[in-house]
Structure 1
Amino acid sequence: MKKILIVGEDLEIGRTEEVYARGFSALGCEVRHFSWREVTSSLSSGGLWDKVAWRLAWQLLGKSANHKLVEQANQFQPDLTLVISPRLVHPDTILALQQKGLAFVFYTDNPVDAHHTHTNSWVKRGFPLWNAAFIWSQELVKRLMKNGVKQAFFHPFCSDVEYHFPQRQTNPIYDVAFIGNWDGSRKREQYLKAIADYRLGLWGSNYWNTHCQEVSLKGLCQGMCSYQEIPQILGSAKMGLNILRPQNEDGHNIRTYEIPATGTLMLSERSQELLNLFLEDKEAVYFSNPDELRQKVEYLLKNPDVMEVITEAGYQKALKNRITDRVTEIAALYEKIKFEQDNSLQLIHSQ
């Protein structure tokens, strides 16, 4: 496997497609990018993502972009095409890509729920076509298989140690830091309300100021932060808070690795997937409701030695789950599937 085509929305630092491109380049592969944002700028306009407008326009715009994707694949001749979030990939395009090499997909959102930004008719029709599909939840692996995906694999997120590394302050100004947008479920509001009287740092979109109903959180949000600012922000707090979105409750999210990779204690909402990735009270600390969150914060602040031990163990676990580890896993699977395909062709030709 020498040539990789990575397909994603754009190449902003920290996006999954950009991180994986760096990972494959470090592995010695020649990497090319296909960006939906670059080939069709209107796909990225704010108004188009409106639910009604999107449903009216996405197929027309997507078909034009798909032609450009196939053209680039024809020119580059990749051994592997890795698609990050395939909602704009037409099923015929998957088949066209497979004329050049294998085609893998990484579902960064849940493609079997009903949300229009996660799935559509093209995504569902593409389920049985991919050579391999990756997703961040063991439970969703099972659901993908039930929906026709032939080879689905649990593929956790990872640590990006090039950008996320310890930047600890000697005297942290926050007890807890949370980086995350306001969520319509209001679950995040309830959790943050429970610890609002501690030194709480909050970063996210302006929805925290315009949509949040908890008075104790009003005006607390310091705005969005860049990907590069994450370690500095987490380094300014004694612990980093991870509250899962509803779609991630059966799995985990990117914060699972971002927080411990910066040498910060991860205080996370509990899920079975997370418990398997970071051991409870050894590599991370967990909670399942606002009261338990508050109890854990109070306990940890009174026991800095316990915090130190868990923080270091979590950091070491994060270092064992880097982007280089994930792309190596993908490369090994590529070799396995390619070997099986070649053997099948030889068998057919020999008959």
Structure 2
Amino acid sequence: MSKTKRRLTESKVDPEYRKGRSAGYSLGWTDGHWFGRCEAVARKASPVPVKRPIHVLYVTSGKGYPYTPLDNGIVETLKLIAQQVTLVVPDDDIVSVAAAVRPDMMLALDGMHLSHEKVQAINALGIRTAIWFTDDPYYTDITAGIAVHYQHVFTLERNCLPYYANSGCARVSYLPLGVFPGSYRPRNTPHSMRGEISFIGTAYWNRVELFNRAIPLLAHRRLRISGMWWDRLAEYERWKGLIDLDKWMEPDETSEKYNANRIVINSHRAHDDETFNQNSARITAVSPNPRTFEISASGTLQLTDWREDIAQFYVPGVEIVTYDSPEDMAAKVDYYLEHEEERQEIALRGLYRTLRDHTYVSRLNQLMDLTMNG
């Protein structure tokens, strides 16, 4: 087609079509450019897994959702870094399996559904045993009685180290969960899902108190809250249009929600919530929750409440942003939504740090080192 005919043809096109085409092109370029930057960071940061000549017998939590995604992520990662992985559930005849396959070590997640007798029998076979606790310090009344049966205890809460040692555990190590990038990763989410601010999680009472004060400060923004029990809010009827009440999401959908929002808020559980916790020792929590790593792995800006150990894993203000009150949170939300370049740079640095240092590959390599070399 000649240039003259093309101009004549385009002049007859509906102006609204041309306007939409121009806007769509710009939006597509912006999305593609951002996703490309995330992919470049991911390729640079992600270590190449190396298989070890180790056979791991892995015992799932046996609890189902929400523990199933943790089990799946750990199993898939073990397959990348261990020569052989044998998978069992707590109700299996684990002792017979272990006697037959002779693994180098047994790793149990959570351990609440695995009998002490089975663990002791595995120990008697001369197989190294380890357990990884996922919910410390919230159920330490229960886990203290479980931990003593394992040769090595791993906890995601640093303040639980002396507690388990004083309970009679010979070897205890601090090992936060980290993230499985197969589930939590940058995604080019549909525009129908896009928003500005998101929080996903159960409405424990400290979070209810936080959002009772924060929602009026954030309501002028595009805010979505998802999770159990949010009808506990003092003005739930007023704000229920912002809330996906009692919605449970699998990791892929959660990651999509994180990606769809420019800022994702993190709020840790309280260690002294007597309505839910079983922590009579009142062990305070100073370590980051698994969501800390999952949000940052999704390539969005994380705004989290402060915990002492966060600075061990991310540089505040550089790779992650912290807040110390609802008012501080709201002010920082406004700031970063109005300073897009800064928001993106912090999100990318957080993504890089997470994929370099805080994936299950990194964590499970540490776990195997400590278990096998101790």
Do both proteins adopt the same fold according to a TM-score greater than 0.5, normalized to the shorter chain? yes
> Is the 2:157–2:285 contact (alpha carbons within 8 Å) kept by the matching residues of 1?
no
Q: Percent identity?
A: 17
Instruction: Tell me, yes or no, if structure 1 residue 327 matches structure 2 residue 335.
Output: no
Q: Normalized against structure 2, the TM-score is what?
A: 0.73
1:16 Cα deviation (Å)?
A: 2.1
Instruction: Tell me, yes or no, if structure 1 residue 128 matches structure 2 residue 148.
Output: yes
- Structure 2 equivalent of residue 346 of structure 1: none
Residue 112 of structure 2 aligns to which amino acid in structure 1? R
Distance 2:209 2:188 in 1: 29
Distance 2:141 2:310 in 1: 25
Structure 2 vs 1, CA of residues 183 and 198 (structure 1 numbering), >3 Å: closer, same or farther?
A: same
1:14 Cα deviation (Å)?
A: 5.5
Instruction: Tell me, yes or no, if structure 1 residue 83 matches structure 2 residue 108.
Output: yes
Distance 2:118 2:106 in 1: 11
| Residue aligned with 2:205, SS | coil
> Is the 1:261–1:319 contact (alpha carbons within 8 Å) kept by the matching residues of 2?
yes
Q: Deviations over 1:191-219 (max 9, x none)?
A: 642423321112213x224x333334324
The residue correspondences of 1:210-289 to structure 2 (distance < 5 A) are 211-215=232-236, 216-222=238-244, 223-247=247-271, 249-289=285-325
- Structure 2 equivalent of residue 198 of structure 1: 221
- Structure 1 equivalent of residue 37 of structure 2: none
- Structure 2 equivalent of residue 163 of structure 1: 183
| Residue aligned with 1:251, SS | coil
Residue 220 of structure 2 aligns to which amino acid in structure 1? D
Structure 2 vs 1, CA of residues 69 and 214 (structure 1 numbering), >3 Å: closer, same or farther?
A: farther
> Is the 1:158–1:323 contact (alpha carbons within 8 Å) kept by the matching residues of 2?
yes
Q: Deviations over 1:267-321 (max 9, x none)?
A: 1111011122111100000012111111111111121121111111101001112
Distance 2:214 2:85 in 1: 42
Structure 2 vs 1, CA of residues 145 and 307 (structure 1 numbering), >3 Å: closer, same or farther?
A: same
Residue 144 of structure 1 aligns to which amino acid in structure 2? Y
- Structure 2 equivalent of residue 107 of structure 1: 133
Question: Which one of the candidate residues 90, 94, 99 is aligned to 2:119?
Answer: 94
Q: Deviations over 1:120-164 (max 9, x none)?
A: 3xx433433321111112222232223322211110221211121
> Is the 1:6–1:84 contact (alpha carbons within 8 Å) kept by the matching residues of 2?
yes
Structure 2 vs 1, CA of residues 97 and 188 (structure 1 numbering), >3 Å: closer, same or farther?
A: farther
Distance 2:168 2:218 in 1: 44
Residue 328 of structure 1 aligns to which amino acid in structure 2? N
> Is the 2:212–2:233 contact (alpha carbons within 8 Å) kept by the matching residues of 1?
no
Residue 227 of structure 1 aligns to which amino acid in structure 2? P
- Structure 1 equivalent of residue 335 of structure 2: 299
Structure 2 vs 1, CA of residues 188 and 80 (structure 1 numbering), >3 Å: closer, same or farther?
A: farther
- Structure 2 equivalent of residue 19 of structure 1: 73
| Residue aligned with 1:252, SS | coil
| Residue aligned with 1:163, SS | coil
Residue 135 of structure 2 aligns to which amino acid in structure 1? D
1:257 Cα deviation (Å)?
A: 0.8
Distance 2:288 2:254 in 1: 18
Pick the structure with greater CA Rg.
Answer: 2
Structure 2 vs 1, CA of residues 71 and 30 (structure 1 numbering), >3 Å: closer, same or farther?
A: same
Residue 269 of structure 2 aligns to which amino acid in structure 1? R
- Structure 2 equivalent of residue 148 of structure 1: 168
> Is the 2:136–2:156 contact (alpha carbons within 8 Å) kept by the matching residues of 1?
no
Residue 309 of structure 1 aligns to which amino acid in structure 2? E
> Is the 2:268–2:305 contact (alpha carbons within 8 Å) kept by the matching residues of 1?
yes
| Residue aligned with 1:246, SS | coil
Structure with the greater relative contact order (CA < 8 A, sep ≥ 6): 1 or 2?
A: 2
| Residue aligned with 1:8, SS | coil
Distance 1:231 1:283 in 2: 18
Structure 2 vs 1, CA of residues 188 and 22 (structure 1 numbering), >3 Å: closer, same or farther?
A: farther
1:170 Cα deviation (Å)?
A: 9.1
Q: Normalized against structure 1, the TM-score is what?
A: 0.77
How many residues are paired up? 300
Distance 1:227 1:184 in 2: 24
